[in-house]
Structure 1
Amino acid sequence: MLHLRLIVPADRTDEVLRLLETTVGTTHLVVLSGAARDPRGDVVLCDVAREAGDGLLAELRALELDRTGSIAIENIDLSLSLRADRAEDEAPGEGADAVLWESLTDATHEESTLSATYLAFLTVATMIAACGVVLDNAILIVGAMAVGPEFGPLAGICTALVQRAPRLAWRSTQALLVGFAVAMVVTVGFSLFMDAVGLFDVEALEAERPNTNFIYRPDWFSFVVAVLAGIAGVLSLTSAKSGALVGVAISVTTVPAAANAAVALSYQEYGQAWHSMEQLLLNLVGIIVAGSLTLAVQKLLWARHETSAARR
C-alpha cells in the first residue's frame, strides 16, 4: 500500500475527493479542512493500492495539484486493516508488478546526480578494486562492486530512454562519464603512490591472476551477465521487492574494469588497459540495452493491463 498526503486548495477539495472516492483501490480517506498553511489549503490523506497508484498520480497531476498544492507519497510497510486488504483485492493487477513512473523518475534523478558524494563513492570503489587487481583478491573485487554507485546513472539512462526525458539522459550520462573519468585519474595517481611505497608492482599486474584475469578478458559471457544484471536491476527498482539490487551491483564488471585499466595505465600496460576498457564498455552497453528493454516491456504490459481492467 501507498500513503498519499495531499495539500489541496480549498476550492479544489471536492473535485479531488470525487477522484479519490471513485478510484478503485483507495481507502482510509481523511480530510483536514484548512490545516495546511504553506501552501494554504486542506490536507487530504488516503491509502491506495500500489497497482492503482500510477494512474491516480497521473489524474492528480492532470488537476495540476503538483503546482497549486502538494503531492507526497510514502510506502506503507504494514497495514492491519480489512479495508486496506479489500482495496488491494479490488485494484487491478499485482502490486509487485506495478511501476510508479513518477517515483522511478525521481529516484533515478537523485541517484544520477554528479555530486561530491557520488564521486567519492565511485573513486573509493575503484581504488579498492585496484588493490584487488594487484593482490588477485576476488573478495576485494566483490567489495568494490558493492560500493560502486554507478547503477544509479545507468538506471537513469534507461528511464530517460523509455520516458523520453532528455534532461535526465544528459544528467545520467554526465554523471557516468565524468564519474568514471575522475575515478580512473585518481586511481592512476593512487597506483603510482602505492608503487612508490613498494605496495604495488608491475609483476603482480602481469601475473596470471587466476581470480581476477576475467576483468581484462571480455567475452560473450561478460555481455550475457551484463544483460541479465540489467534486467534484474531494473526489476528491483520498479518492483516493491528491491532487495536484489545489491546482488546486481556485484554481478557486473564495471568498477573493477575501470580500476584494472587505471592500474595498467600507470605501468604503461596499454594492451591490458584497452581490454579492460572493452570490458567496461561491454558491461555498460549490456546493462543499458537490457534495462531499457525491460522498462519498455513493463510499460507496454501494464498499459495493456490497465486497458483491459478499464473495459471490464
Structure 2
Amino acid sequence: MYRYIFLLLAVLLFSPITTIAQQNYEWGTVKNGEGFNSFLLRNHISPVKDLAKFKALNKGRFTKNGQLIAGKKYKLPLRYSMHKFPILGSKHESVKQIDNSMSGAVIHLVAGHGGPDPGAVGKISGHKITEDEYAYDIVLRMGRELISHGAKVHFIIQDPNDGIREAAYLKPDKDERCYPSQVIPRKHTPRLRQRAAAINILARKEAKSTYQRLIVLHLDSRSKKNRTDVYFYHHSVSKKGKSLAYALQQKMKDKYARFQPNREYTGTVGTRRLYMLQTTTPPSVFVELGNINNYRDQLRFTKADNRQALADWLCEGIIENYQKEKKK
C-alpha cells in the first residue's frame, strides 16, 4: 500500500506538464519603398502563405490605409525549421524549433562519468542501474528541449548507440566518447581534464555568443534511507553561475509547490571546489539529481516520463535565466 502511494506521488510530482512563454516571432524593419510582398520576401517569408499571420501579429501597427510604415519595426512570423540530431536516436532525432526564446544561447551539457566509469551504481527490483546511463538520457532530453527553443547545444559526452530511451532499466555499456570522438580515460583526473578541455575549446569557438552556460548532471550515492531532492553547486566567484543555480532551484521549488504542495522541497544551492566548476570557462552549474540508492529517488530516474519532466523543468529554469540576462 505505501509503495503504491509513493509511486503515485512520484508520478504526480514529475508530471511532464510544462508551460513556457513562447515568442513565435522575430523583428524586422521596413525599408523605404517596401510593400508587403517585398518586405516579406526579403525576410524569407511567403506573402502567399504568411501574409494573414503577419497582419494578425502586427494589428494596429499599420497606416490608416493598412500599409507598412518605413523605418518601423514589425513582428515577423518565426520561420520554423526542422533539423536532425542522430545522437538523440532514430525516434527523436528530428527536432522542430517551436520558438526562438533561446536564440543566440550556447549550452554545453555534460552527463557525469561514462566510458569505463559507470559512476554510482544502484539496484531496483533486481536490476542494476548506473549513474552514467540515467544522467546521459536526461542530458539528451534537455538538449532536445533546448534546441526546440532555438539554443545551440553541445553534448560533451556522446554515445553512438544510445539515443533517448523509454525503458525503465537502461542497459549499462562502456562505449561513450568525449567530444568530438575521444576515448574516455579510465583514471579520474585525466577523464575530467579531457572533458574540461573539450568544453573550453568549444567555448572559445562560440565566443560571439553572449550567453554560454555549462550544465553538468550527476546522481548521488548515499544510504538507502537518505532521500534527497535535486540540488545544485556553482563556482564560488561566478555570479552568473550562481544566478543560474538559483534560477534552477526556484523552478524546482515552483514545480514541487504545484505538484506536491504538502511536501517541502529541500534541494539546496551551494559552492564546492569541483574540478568541472573550477577549470571550465563558461558559467556552470553542477546538478545532483538524487540518490541512486533510495527507492523514492529511483522513481525519479527509472520512469521515462519523470526523466522527461526533470529535463523540461531544468530547461524552463535555463530559459528564464536567459531571458532575465538578456534584459540586463
**TM-score of the aligned structures, taking structure 1 as reference length:** 0.26
- Name which one, 1 or 2, has greater alpha-carbon Rg: 1
| Highest RCO, 1 vs 2 (Cα 8 Å, sep ≥ 6) | 2
TM-score by length of 2: 0.25
